[in-house]
Amino acid sequence: MPAQAVERLQAQISAAVGADVELERPKDASHGDFATNVAMRSAKSVGRPPRELAAELAARIGEVDDVDSTEVAGPGFINLRLADSFFIAALSEVGDGYGGGWAAAAPERVQVEMVSANPTGPLLVSHARNGAYGDSVARLLAFGGHAVQREYYYNDAGAQVDRFRASVDALRRGEPVPEDGYHGDYVRDLAAQDGDPLPRMLASIEGTLERFRINFDSWALQSELEQRLPEFMPRLDTYEKDGAVWARSSAYGDEQDWVIIRSADKGGTPTYRAADIVYLTDKLDRGFDKAVYVLGADHHATARWYAAIARMLGYDESRVEVLLYQFVHLTGGGEAAKLSKRAGNVVFLDELLDQVGVDAARWYLVNRGPDQTIDIDLELAAEKSNKNPVYYVQYAHARIAAILRNADASGAFVASRHKLENEERELIKRLTDFPVTAREAADRRGPQLIPAYAIRLADEFHRFYHECRVIGSPEEAFRLGLCRATQQVIARCLDLVGVEAPERM
């Protein structure tokens, strides 16, 4: 028997109708608690007018337990109204892990590689979007029951790192930073200290990530992976041209071939694509069923490259998944600024966090779908932050915490036979949406569904709070249970996007 009340109801109605029925939640509450389009979908194959079929199916659905009434609406929707008993039963199912664990029967080992910014400077706001998005996807997958590992890939070899070190060295010699070098203030700070600046940069990045609440399990180094290239060469489809070694990726679905080892006059060193090959193999051979890459929109072409090298190496390319997100544009007072780490006119993630806090930053960055470019006006960010919906959701959580504190609520769930107030029904209904929403967000790699849902849930709670007294009411025990359930789901939503659930505000 399905675990969730809505799934059970769906199964019962499907049996009554004799077809697979999907229940949806009408946006308009006057259309009932649930609705189904089954009549419209099957009208054609049955060869009957949709509304006529709907009327017949509605009568049968009306016989199902917990269905109070049905009506045919519009072109053939069947709207259902459910008995209070359904909602009370549904509420009793909300507990630890509610809405998660859907993959428990077939869990996968998933690696999510994210951020992976060049260690040539502090993390920027664009990297924060990578992390906020990737980490939320990782949290959703873990919530679903998968074994998730987060990894950061350091491009600690190659031209960019050489330029970075050269910039620091130049300053130490009292010379100006080369034209193509790194010019930010942080380079001066590093130059003032002894030793290789790279380890200090790595430590700085890891500190920022921790502050941003992304906990990496492992770090991969390009410099180490590169060294294993010779053992891979026999497995690769390559050829020489113009003195360089090329991977024949075009034969495996990519748009073109790419140099993996530079010609002698360019140094004869491996390109980052060579490291890509070793790294991809390394990931899959470590036992991950799936390797997820989180990349900015400027890397969209590399999705084909990864698929191509997976095929070249004989792996199932479906084990490689690339998640793309669009850029973050920063404006100051409405004026767009071209941002570049090398030019030094950038906004660091740490500065953003100083200004708006981790909660608002993470919410803001994950709130938009990954396909949507983000514009942040830094001058407005700080003052707007108090209006950020994240506080609306957190406030609902804190309000519940206050009620539970005041009531000293420790009892178990108590069912009630009282007629549910409208606000109680709507709040419980919203709770029953959560399992569907969480799973869809995970399947679609769309964590933005979670903040959108959390706002609606907080909305229902605030309304309930306003209309229904908890402490001292005849239904206190039941309502405390409703509060606890709501608090759990809100806390879960906040956690899924890396935001804290405060007890007080």
256 near RNA (CB under 7 A)? yes
Min CB(157)–RNA separation in Å: 7
384 near RNA (CB under 7 A)? yes
Near RNA in 128-167, by CB under 7 A = 155, 157-160
User: What's the one-letter identity of residue 386?
Assistant: N
Min CB(360)–RNA separation in Å: 10
Q: According to CB under 7 A, which one of 127, 129, 399, 484 is a site residue for RNA?
A: 399
Near RNA in 174-213, by CB under 7 A = none
3-class SS shares of the chain: helix, strand, coil, % to 5: 50, 15, 35
Q: With CB under 7 A, what is the number of residues at the site for RNA?
A: 88
Q: Tell me which H or E stretch contains 147.
A: strand 147-154
Q: Which is nearer to RNA, 93 or 132 (CB)?
A: 132
Choose the binding region for RNA from 91-99, 134-142, 199-207, 398-406 (rule: CB under 7 A): 398-406
Both tokens of 123, joined, read 């993390």
Q: According to CB under 7 A, which one of 194, 242, 335, 408 is a site residue for RNA?
A: 242
Beta strands in 212-296 (DSSP E): 218-221, 238-241, 244-247, 258-261, 290-296
Q: According to CB under 7 A, which one of 297, 316, 332, 422 is a site residue for RNA?
A: 297
Question: What is the separation of C-alpha 354 from the centre of its chain, rounded to a whole number of angstroms?
Answer: 23
The C-alpha atoms of residue 114 and residue 134 are separated, in whole angstroms, by 6
Q: According to CB under 7 A, which one of 13, 103, 114, 244 is a site residue for RNA?
A: 244
The C-alpha atoms of residue 468 and residue 479 are separated, in whole angstroms, by 9
**Which residues make beta-bridge pairs with 374?**
328
19 near RNA (CB under 7 A)? no
Near RNA in 28-57, by CB under 7 A = 28, 31-32, 35, 37, 40-41, 44, 50
Q: According to CB under 7 A, which one of 46, 203, 343, 505 is a site residue for RNA?
A: 505
418 near RNA (CB under 7 A)? no
Q: According to CB under 7 A, which one of 262, 317, 355, 379 is a site residue for RNA?
A: 262
Q: According to CB under 7 A, which one of 4, 10, 12, 79 is a site residue for RNA?
A: 79
Burial code of 54-70, b = ≥16 C-beta within 10 A, e = fewer? bbebbeebbebebbeeb
337 near RNA (CB under 7 A)? no
The DSSP symbol for 318 reads G
98 near RNA (CB under 7 A)? no
369 near RNA (CB under 7 A)? yes
Choose the binding region for RNA from 143-151, 165-173, 293-301, 309-317 (rule: CB under 7 A): 293-301
Question: What is the separation of C-alpha 206 from the centre of its chain, rounded to a whole number of angstroms?
Answer: 20
Residue with token string 């909300």? 94
The C-alpha atoms of residue 98 and residue 385 are separated, in whole angstroms, by 30
86 near RNA (CB under 7 A)? no
Min CB(19)–RNA separation in Å: 13
Q: Which is nearer to RNA, 219 or 327 (CB)?
A: 327
- 415 sits in the region (left: phi over 0; alpha: psi -120 to 50; else beta) called beta
Q: With beta carbons less than 8 A apart as the criterion, state whether 130 and 208 touch.
A: no
Choose the binding region for RNA from 138-146, 200-208, 261-269, 348-356 (rule: CB under 7 A): 261-269
Q: Which is nearer to RNA, 76 or 100 (CB)?
A: 76
Q: In what order do the strands lie in the sheet with 67-73?
A: 34-36, 77-82, 67-73
Min CB(88)–RNA separation in Å: 20
3-state secondary structure 427-456: HHHHHHHHHHHHHHHHHCCCCCHHHHHHHH
Min CB(53)–RNA separation in Å: 11
383 near RNA (CB under 7 A)? no
Q: Which is nearer to RNA, 192 or 469 (CB)?
A: 469
Burial code of 427-444, b = ≥16 C-beta within 10 A, e = fewer? bbbbbbbbbbbbbebbee
What is the greatest pairwise CA distance in the chain?
Answer: 87
